[in-house]
A and B are shown apart, each in its own frame.
Chain A
Amino acid sequence: MASSNSNAERTLRASLPSNLTDYHAFIQTTLDHLAQLGWGKCELFGIHMALEESISNAIRHGNKEDPAKRVQVECRLSPSRFWISVCDEGAGFQPESVPDCCAADRLEVIGGRGLALMQAYMTRLQYNDRGNCLVMEKVLAGPSPNGACCCE
């Protein structure tokens, strides 16, 4: 993992293997940096969720846990902004093709909740055209569209 620090912004970069255990250290390091920058418990929970779901999706659905493939992650962190790019080596997907897991008649469907959670906790979420690179951003001053931030 590579990192660079300035007073205002820290950047973390990692090339993660395609297994569902080795990325947790990167997530913890990112959360530790954010905590040092003053992010609160509730915001950290939402960012933890976005990190967990985006990276595990890239490994599981993007790279299909192929050990020959990597997931490239870059995070830019500041006291008021969390930005992340997650790219896998898979064929990509169209996020609009994912059924709404929150619809009343789909509540018992097992999968598809990761995307809904990322959208709820982040201020902005965007895939590239191919659908194998995700950029997300959370700006502390601005509430997320669904208001998923404060848990009090």
Chain B
Amino acid sequence: MAKPQRIEVNESANISVVRFKDQKIIDPVAIQELGQELFELVEKEERRKIVLNFGNVEFLSSAALGKLITFEKKAKRIGAELILTNISPEIYQVFAITNLDKLFKIMDGEADALAVL
């Protein structure tokens, strides 16, 4: 993959830890690029254990949620495991309001996810 613009990916024992570069995930072009970069992780690079670290994310729109749902569906279809971590209370509330806390596997910290993947 060309150097990603929206995410930073680090490998740790066959687990890909993804951090978001944008603090606010709102812009439609940025969301489109973010989706493509996430999709490539499972579709082209065949990564099968992924942690999405939201530590840098202060705000995200429902359009960004939609892209994350698409990513979750692709990952599930391919057989990749996905865990979301380091979600702020405000962002977690967005997941809870929309019941997406029941769709995604969410853990407190990156270490928690690395321990179970």
Contacts and interface: CB of A to CB of B under 8 A. Distances in A.
Contacts of A102: 97-99
Interface of B is mostly: helix
A120 B94 CA distance: 9
Contacts of B66: 110-111, 113
B93 A114 contact: no
Interface in B28-84: 28, 59, 61-63, 65-66, 69-70, 72-73
A108 B73 contact: yes
Interface residues of A, number: 29
A143 to B, nearest CB: 14
A21 B97 contact: no
Contacts of A20: 27-28
Chain B interface size band reads 20 to 34
A146 B97 contact: yes
Interface string A13-34: 0000000110010000000000
B102 A104 contact: yes
A139 interface: no
A120 B97 contact: yes
A151 B94 CA distance: 10
